[in-house]
Structure 1
Amino acid sequence: MQDRDVKKILITRLSAIGDVIHALPVASALRKEYPEAQIDWLVEAKALPLVKLNPYLDNVILLPRKKWRQMLNEDVVQTVKSFFGFFKKMKKNNYDINLDLHGLFKSALSSYLIKPKLRLGPADGRELSKFVYQAKIDIPAKKMHQVERNLYLASALGAATESLDYGLKITPVIKSRVSRLFARENIDLNKKVVIINPFTTWESKNWFLDRYFSLANKLIQAGYYIIFTGASSDKEAIASFESSFTDSYSNLAGETDLEELTELYKRADLYIGGDTGPTHLAAAVDLDVISLMGPTSPTTHGPYGKGHTVIQDNSLECIRCWDRHCSRKMQCMKSISVEQVLRIANKKLNG
């Protein structure tokens, strides 16, 4: 690979937000190895803003799967034309290599239709994806964190994997927007700021909202400022939070885009949440993280980096079951107490 005259590289990692964050260091690793090459990234809509922050990429290309799904209900012919038109345009880029980090049918099909000179992906790719690749990368048998796995795939192209750079470069415009948001919310900058992100995309990964609220009140009473973050769909549930110190918390769920959320996390002192995209974003910007985990594995999907804390009850037989919907009355999350999280939070904030 290193002997090839590589002028154009396409990285493919389509979704979800947390998985894309885990892949971001690949851009900087490849840029160091191929400083003169054109390096592009193919991604879906949700994680697009984060990838666009990366200064090591030349182009960030949106795969419009959401648009095609919407079009399909209205006009099948136009959907087909749009689909093949997109890949015809992509094919004209004449990529030397497409490194597929995703390893699923949708990413492998995209690679096939783009027609790079070399289609490269993981040997353990799922949904028949590995049969599309022209070269397959064997992953070590030991369990690897997703960040390490992605960098290992990049090492097949000669990229060094010792350093870690997510490339989350915040522009002055984004910083200004967050400053205005802080001013609007009258956020007390004399207090340490604790982020609480209560919801995940899996029912089984959610800690209980009443426990998050109890934790928030205890942290407020200890003198900290609480900022709740989340999606727009989380805002109403979080709005039920009650505290006698109304000037010591803000509900910013749905109030920021991903770029602003990145800058918001950069300004905070501690993050508390489950296994979800914002947790991995917090870890990526070196915000100290407490992650409450049950059905998933900290080894492969925990907050990556030094200093973060995962709370998980390893005594349970069902721990790390990987079930999206729990049939065991959420025992893994019930085993995490408010006092346990509060003790660790106070230690981090006072340390």
Structure 2
Amino acid sequence: MALDTQEVEDKTPLRILVVELAHIGDFVVSTSVIGALKEAFPDSLIVAVVIKESKDLAELCPYIDIVEVYDYKGEHKGLRGWLDIVGRLRRYNFDLGVATNFSFREGILLYLAGCKERVASPTQGRGIFLTQKSQYIPREVMFGFNSDFAFDSMSLIRAKVLEPLGIKKVPYPRLVVPEALKDSVYERFLSKSVSPIFSIGLSGDGTLKRWGIKKWKLLIDKIYHHYGGSFLLIGSPKESLYGEALEKITVSSINTAGRTSIKEFIALLSFADLHIGVDAGPLHVASALGKRCVALFGPTNPFRWAPFAPPRMVRAVYKFFPCSPCYYRSRPCFEVKPYGVRPCMSSISVEDVFKEIKEQVMAIRTEDRSKNEWAKKASSSLLPERTTQPNS
């Protein structure tokens, strides 16, 4: 919900600034922190400062009242831009400021925005700007297994920032899509789709997490043979050609990669009955929409970066390699095969993924049909096993 600062009434009990200067997947991870603040202070006004790329996403987060954009690589680049965003924020007269991430920029922004209380982890030397310091969490906690938080979800790690405030209850990430937006994307992309709908998250970070077009084809064919349905190919403009190629060689596929705005892609995911994809933004968005997911992990830590969700809602597929997780920092395999599929991803077989899909399908079948979308769309024919081969 985007409002002008002049519309903010003085009688607001508590004004909270949350700074989260991260991209889509990371922002969704941090919505748990914002949700915890909203639950602890239900009458508060929460203003989130986000980067330009996350603006549309933030506007679909029900915990946020106002979204402010800090485009430090564009409009707010340089001293003039810095003064502009600081001036806008100071007009709110914030009572509390929280930085959910680990950058120095977020810490100093809390201070310059004039927040009376400033809470964050004192990492990156930003402790001098804080009035209350949470547990020290090094920025490197995002990488590798070798830390005290190796098996903690990143949502829970970031929520540790709230401990000085006595907040321990952390909700799951959540996004809400307006019905009008859902109707629009349905007419544009899904009017001829067949239930159930599987969303396919193709890749993230270019080729680094790519699974391989041949395996995606084999998996889609296998799913279609067993359950039928339609397949939403989800991705950024970087994956548009990849999606086009896959659409041509698979049955019942709809390529949307690079063809939607951020809000439209989120609205599309709201129609998915099951999301299958690599560790990237669409995975976290699908989970925040309450979707069951099957996630493929290669160069990243599944314990750290799997979506924070109810038990068994997300099933991870991961093959351990001595160099994994590498987070693209130590990558000898890149030198040998710079444009191919990385060994940590190519080692994941179609059967590995389909095994988890079957488990998720079984779970959906046993859920209360009044609460899941498939029951509404497919009635008594919910995910029947197919006995015929797919048309090629």
TM-score, normalization by structure 2: 0.77
1:41 aligns with 2:45: no
Q: Alpha-carbon deviation of 1:62?
A: 0.6
Measure, in 2, the Cα distance between the counterparts of 1:19 and 1:325: 22
Q: What's the CA shift for 1:193?
A: 1.4
Greater shift, 201-210 or 296-305, is seen at 201-210
> Aligned residue for 2:349?
337
Amino acid paired to 2:317: I
**Which residue identity lines up with residue 88 of structure 2 in the other structure?**
K
Q: Following superposition of structure 1 onto structure 2, how do residues 248-327 of structure 1 map, counting pairs within 5 Å?
A: 248-305=252-309, 306-307=311-312, 308-314=314-320, 316-323=321-328, 326-327=331-332
Instruction: Tell me if structure 1 keeps the 8 A contact 2:149–2:157.
Output: no
Inter-CA distance 132–236: structure 2 relative to 1 (3 Å threshold): same
Equivalent position SS for 2:295: strand
Deviates more, 1:103-112 or 1:5-14: 5-14
C-alpha RMSD over aligned residues: 2.5
Structure 2: 5+ residue stretches without partners? 1-11, 138-147, 364-392
Residue 65 of structure 1: SS of its match in structure 2? coil
1:272-297 Cα shifts (integer Å, max 9, x gaps): 11111111111112211111112211
Kept in 1: contact 2:302–2:316 (CA 8 A): yes
Alpha carbons of 1:344 and 1:109: their partners in 2 closer, same or farther (altered >3 Å)? Answer: same
- Residue of structure 1 equivalent to 2:14: 7
Per-residue deviation, 1:45: 1.1
Q: Distance in 1 between matches of 2:163 and 2:64?
A: 18
1:25, CA displacement in angstroms?
2.3
Match of 1:194, SS state, is strand
Give the SS at the match of 2:39: helix
Q: Distance in 2 between matches of 1:268 and 1:344?
A: 17
CA contact (8 A) 1:50 1:258 kept: yes
Q: Which residue of 2 aligns with 1:107?
A: 106
Q: Given residue 178 of structure 1, which amino acid in structure 2 is its aligned partner?
A: V
Q: What residue in structure 1 maps to residue 220 of structure 2? A: 216
Report the CA distance between 1:42 and its aligned residue: 0.7
2: CA distance between counterparts of 1:294 and 1:149?
A: 21
Cα distance in structure 2, aligned partners of 1:183 and 1:282? 17
Shift of 1:41: 0.8
- 1:71-109 deviation digits (Å, cap 9, x = unpaired): x6xxxxxx5333313212322322122101112022123
2:132 maps to which of 132, 135, 140 = 135
Q: Secondary structure at the match of 1:42?
A: strand
Preserved CA contact (<8 Å) 1:203 1:324: no
Provide the residue aligned with 1:88 in structure 2.
87
Shift of 1:350: 4.5
SS at match of 1:68: coil
Aligned match of 2:367? none
Cα separation, 2, equivalents of 1:281 and 1:167: 8
Contact 1:204/1:324 (<8 A) preserved:
no
The residue number in structure 2 matching 1:119 is 118
Q: Which runs of 5+ in 1 are unaligned?
A: 73-78
Secondary structure class of the residue paired with 1:156? helix
Q: Percent identity?
A: 23
- Change in Cα spacing, 1:253 to 1:88, as seen in structure 2 (3 Å) is same
How far is 1:325 from its partner? 7.2
The structure-2 alpha-carbon separation of the partners of 1:16 and 1:264, relative to structure 1 and needing over 3 Å to count, comes to same
The answer as to whether partners of 1:202 and 1:325 remain within 8 angstroms in 2 is no
Task: Give the aligned partner of residue 160 of structure 2.
Answer: 152
Q: Deviations over 1:167-195 (max 9, x none)?
A: 412212212212212445x112xx32111
Change (3 A) 1:285 1:142: same
| 1:119 aligned counterpart, secondary structure | strand
1:346 to 352, 358, 362: 358
* Maintained 8 Å contact 1:13/1:102: yes
Partner SS, residue 90 of structure 1: helix
Once the two structures are TM-superposed, the CA of residue 236 in structure 1 deviates from its matched residue by 1.5
Provide the C-alpha distance between the structure 2 equivalents of 1:324 and 1:267, rounded to a whole number of angstroms: 36
> 1:333 and 1:253, CA in 2 relative to 1: closer, same or farther beyond 3 A?
same
Native 8 Å contact 1:220 1:245 kept in 2: no
Helix, strand or coil at the partner of 2:193: coil
Distance 2:249 2:212 in 1: 21
